[in-house]
Structure 1
Amino acid sequence: MNKTFVFLSLMIALLFSSCASRKDFVYLSDMQMGEKYPFDPNHEVVVQSGDRLGITVSCKNPELAIPFNIQGGNFQIDRNGNVSASDASGSKEKGYFVDVEGNIDFPILGKLHVDGMSVSQVKSLIENQIKASNYIKDPLVTIDVLNFKYTVLGAVGRNGTFTCDGDRITLLEAIANAGDLTAKARINRVTVIREKGNERQMFVHDLRSKDIFDSPCFYLQQNDIVYVEPKYRKKDNEDRGFQVVTVLLSLVTTVCSLMWALK
């Protein structure tokens, strides 16, 4: 009889555990096998106030590029003639900070307004100004966003602010980095809050639908906030009632099976 009691206890614990972690949603459930879905391979992040940009200028004659790469520190020239700058003070704050007015203070060229521009547009702006001033005939500018970050809150495995290498990350990748959605997540109420100019906009997504590919938030922008809404208490109670009924039915079935087997 003791063995039967222990067995029943284990069965009940297992049933409760499986019900508590049950997820009743499927990502992108309306996608069709073999159907093609377009994407933007040229997506670029939009520069905004608070960004820190890593900018390097190079050319065939590396000595001409040196003045554009000195950011209060030293510079190095590699075997390919590329010039890179380093901060002599040892500060971790590398790159050019985009101030509250949307400007960066760039060597030789002075203040440049870059707020609201894509990375490639900033690249073209610097190259064109260098050529227009006859400093360098064929400059090559490379730009990286050094402090790209986003925040994920709500019904996910791990809330927090995250950073990524580069500036290209999708909403689905951001959720995966935050530990995936929990069983209490409302998959049709995944919100992205985005700063645009002097305003904030809110975009709501249903991750069960392929329509997410057409969202302006499929690729996150700097400082985006992702909020996964949890199920309301009423919904939780309904789910809990369903789970209890399921457990009881399973328990009754198990007890009947045991009683029949012990006869």
Structure 2
Amino acid sequence: MRKQIAIGIISIIATLGLTACRTSSNSVTYLQDSDTSQTTDMKVLADYPLRIAPDDQLQITVSGTEPDAVAVFNMPLTTHQKAGEMIVSTTPVLYTYQVSSSGEIDFPVLGRLKVDGLTTSQLSDTLTRRIGKYVKSPIVSTRISNFKVSVLGEVNRPGTLQVTSERLSVLDAIGMAGDLTIQGNRKNVLLVRDNNGRQELHRLDLTSTSLFASPCYYLQQNDVLYIEPNKARQKDTNISQNRQQNLTLVSTIISALSVLASLGIAFLVK
């Protein structure tokens, strides 16, 4: 009889253990609704090209078959000195154009240009046509040099990421941040996006393939991804805080009792 009861208890514990493991797996697995038995073709519906916005830093270079002719359209290379350094770096740095709050830049010869809302390809095409009136077959290259995003919360390496390309997905950013910790909530990731001075909040589910169809799948300048802790992590944090408060209270009581005991002993000695 005792043996049967023991076997029953072991079976219950094993069942609970398997259930817990299954729940944990469902909470940490990415893209759970994808078919693992065959290749799945998921179309990304998002339009990822970056749009130039105020405060962007643009690197624009103009080249062509006549270097002397295109030279006037290029700003001279500059050197720089980092804070705290006594020696100025001799490595030349490409000049960047600061996009003003009105979305404009001052370009050599062409003057003030409206660039806000354009992609870098569109700006390159525009400059190619405008500069083509002065020189033969110009080649214009444009890139955003200060493209960065921040990944915060339950990731292994939270912080700000400097991006060298113009195509960065949510999964790319998470990978650069060292992936989510086991305590990260993969079903309710918060994306904060600045849209012309207005803060937009978007929610993303990393466990669903619907992520690929989200207009936020590809990130934009200054996007912030926040990975909130899951319920287990929040519960552990609350328990730890309560435990710390209890320890503080007990320590205070013990200290008070110790003081009272010392005063009592001193009174009795007298």
What TM-score do the two structures reach when normalised by structure 1?
Answer: 0.69
Residue in 2 that maps onto 1:48 = 53
Mapped to 1, the partners of 2:215 and 2:120 lie a distance apart of 17
- SS of 2:228 mapped into structure 1: strand
Name the structure with the higher strand share: 1
Name the structure with the higher helix share: 2
Residue 65 of structure 2 corresponds to residue 60 of structure 1: yes
Is the alpha carbon distance of 1:104 and 1:182 closer, same or farther for their aligned partners in structure 2, counting shifts above 3 Å?
same
Residue 86 of structure 2 corresponds to residue 87 of structure 1: no
- SS of 2:180 mapped into structure 1: coil
CA contact (8 A) 2:59 2:94 kept: no
**Cα deviation, residue 138, structure 1:** 2.2
Residue in 2 that maps onto 1:98 = 99
Mapped to 1, the partners of 2:41 and 2:225 lie a distance apart of 27
Letter in 2 for 1:67: V
Is the alpha carbon distance of 1:152 and 1:30 closer, same or farther for their aligned partners in structure 2, counting shifts above 3 Å?
same
In our comparison, the structure showing a higher alpha carbon Rg is: 2
**Cα deviation, residue 41, structure 1:** 10
Q: Deviations over 1:209-246 (max 9, x none)?
A: 11111111211111001011212479636xx9xxxxxx
Is the alpha carbon distance of 1:41 and 1:187 closer, same or farther for their aligned partners in structure 2, counting shifts above 3 Å?
closer
Mapped to 2, the partners of 1:42 and 1:187 lie a distance apart of 23
- Percent identity (aligned): 35
Letter in 2 for 1:135: Y
Q: Deviations over 1:73-131 (max 9, x none)?
A: 3xxxxxxxxxxxx2256686831111222111111111111111111111122122223
CA contact (8 A) 1:146 1:166 kept: no
**Cα deviation, residue 42, structure 1:** 8.0
**Cα deviation, residue 174, structure 1:** 0.6
Residue in 2 that maps onto 1:124 = 125
Mapped to 2, the partners of 1:41 and 1:130 lie a distance apart of 33
- Gaps in structure 1 of 5+ consecutive residues: 1-18, 74-85, 241-263
Letter in 1 for 2:113: L
Residue in 2 that maps onto 1:230 = 229
CA contact (8 A) 1:52 1:94 kept: no
**Cα deviation, residue 49, structure 1:** 1.3
CA contact (8 A) 2:211 2:217 kept: yes
Mapped to 2, the partners of 1:37 and 1:164 lie a distance apart of 25
Letter in 2 for 1:26: T
